[in-house]
Structure 1
Amino acid sequence: MISRTPIAKTSLAFVLAIMMLPIGCSRTTRSSSPGPEDPDAPTEFTTTDTGLKYRILRVGSGDKPGRESFVTVDYVGWLDSGREFDSSYNRREPADFNLSSVIPAWTEGVQLVGEGGMIELEVPSDLGYGPAGNPPEIPPNATLHFKVELHDVR
């Protein structure tokens, strides 16, 4: 039960104000979904020589990574069925990694977008997890889909 004394009212107001702070301070809270796309982003995919399909959803203004670059990204991944299998947005924590240490589609695809940009990838099985899949989330021979926002290249 909350007391109706002035001290309790002040304390309650203080606690409520503190609880509201993260809402107004977007620098400390991460989005649970990808950011905006460019209004003129293509609706059709481009296919590379390896079979990777991509479309640049937001052109970045920063550096593009190389094969050995370390990057910070946010991403969401889903299967053909639409079932989401992984999301840094849901964890509210970006991923940091070396581009040479991920599936071939990411090594190739993330190099196509500049820092601050966003790309959508459609990944054929041979550029993803192949016949083995990545149980229990990714079945064998699965086509994967990702939206990736590139935050930092180093």
Structure 2
Amino acid sequence: MGTDKRERKKAGHRARLSAERAAQARYERRRRLIITVATPITVLVIIGLFMVLSKGSGTATDSATSSSTTASTATTTPTSTPTSTTPKAASAAGKPCVALTELPPPNAPTVDVPIGPPPTSLQITDVKTGTGPAVAATDKVTVNYLGVSCSTGAIFDESYTRGQPATFGLNQVIPGWTEGLQGMQAGGIRQLVIPPEKGYGSSGQGIKIAPDETLIFVVELKSITAA
């Protein structure tokens, strides 16, 4: 009787072990099947994602390159026509100097216009002699001035009405000023008659200074700053 009971226990134990092994075997088969199916799908997903990212990066780079090229072209391409034009007066070549056609400002020095054929060389006249060091070609000067067009007798520019002297380097102006103001002293007044080649030449300066115009300047030197 005891022997039969032990045999039944052993048989039950063997049955449980067999069932567990069968279950484990089924689990392993399912796991291998899942791995077999999932691995190529995962690889395809990774490849697809990489291609999408690569395409997006290339598009962004191309867009940036295109934008950069467009901006560069826009900023470096010159316009085919000027945006504005400056009218010019008729040439003053061959015209004589005439008397002033308007009064200078009350506080400006007298202008002595050489009526008749304009001088062909730079004419320098000291109206008043100053004191102190003389102006050199590279010095900076502060001046009041008045400019007259010889052929029309018109005042084209002056600083007296503005109430503010002009300051500039003597090597940054027309040759007639660079040459004509050298040697002046502070407090001095000098008149310059400047032929076209030492002024604005055949180009002139807008409508106020004609091409080939002889210019008359009266310059009052306020101060000198050595270079």
Unaligned runs of at least 5 residues, structure 2: 1-104, 115-119
* Larger relative contact order (Cα-Cα within 8 Å, sequence gap ≥ 6): 1
Q: Does 1:34 align with 2:108?
A: yes
Distance 2:148 2:109 in 1: 17
Distance 1:75 1:126 in 2: 20
Higher helix content, 1 or 2: 2
Q: Does 1:74 align with 2:144?
A: yes
Identity %: 38
Q: What is the CA-CA distance between 1:62 and the residue it aligns to?
A: 2.0
Q: What is the CA-CA distance between 1:34 and the residue it aligns to?
A: 2.5
Aligned-pair Cα RMSD in Å: 2.5
2:181 counterpart SS class: helix
Distance 1:91 1:67 in 2: 26
Partner of 2:170: 99
1:37-73: per-residue Cα shift (whole Å, max 9, x none)?
xxxxxxx9xxxxx921010000001221111100000
Distance 2:146 2:182 in 1: 17
Q: Does 1:65 align with 2:124?
A: no
1:90 counterpart SS class: coil
Q: Which has the larger radius of gyration?
A: 2
Q: What is the aligned length? A: 115
TM-score (norm 2): 0.47
Q: Is the 8 A contact 1:70 1:97 kept in 2?
A: yes
Structure 1 moving runs of 4+ over 2 Å: 31-36
Partner of 1:144: 215
Q: Is the 8 A contact 1:32 1:90 kept in 2?
A: no
Higher strand content, 1 or 2: 1
TM-score (norm 1): 0.68
